[in-house]
Amino acid sequence: MFVGNLPADASEDKVKTLFSEFGTVRSIEIVADVFTGKCRGFGFVAMEGHEARAAIAGLNGKSFDGKPLRVQFEEARNSRGGRRGR
């Protein structure tokens, strides 16, 4: 799943705690700035399908450190690396 609007101080532990309420978190990738090491505001969380759907329903729009999260299934990319449906 894509997780957007994360605060700059978001960590894997904080995000895992948040998503664990909905099931087993298989992996987390927080995208960090190369120079500062701070979160760039988004990341990816892997969970089983039914648990991911529950997490999306429960967390999309929910405030996390004062910011409303954006949680959705990651869009598939086409063979050129762009997003489908543009």
pLDDT digits (tens, 9 = 90+) for 42-79: 999 999 999 999 999 999 999 998 899 999 998 765 55
Please tell me the CATH code under which domain 2-72 is placed. 3.30.70.330
Give the residue among 50, 55, 43, 60 at the shortest CA–CA distance from 2.
43
Q: What mean pLDDT is predicted for residues 7-30? A: 96
| pLDDT score, position 79 | 52
Instruction: Name the residue type at position 70.
Output: R
Q: Measured in Å, how far apart are the chain's first and last C-alpha atoms? A: 20
For residue 64, the Cα-to-chain-centroid distance in whole angstroms is 12
pLDDT score at 61: 97
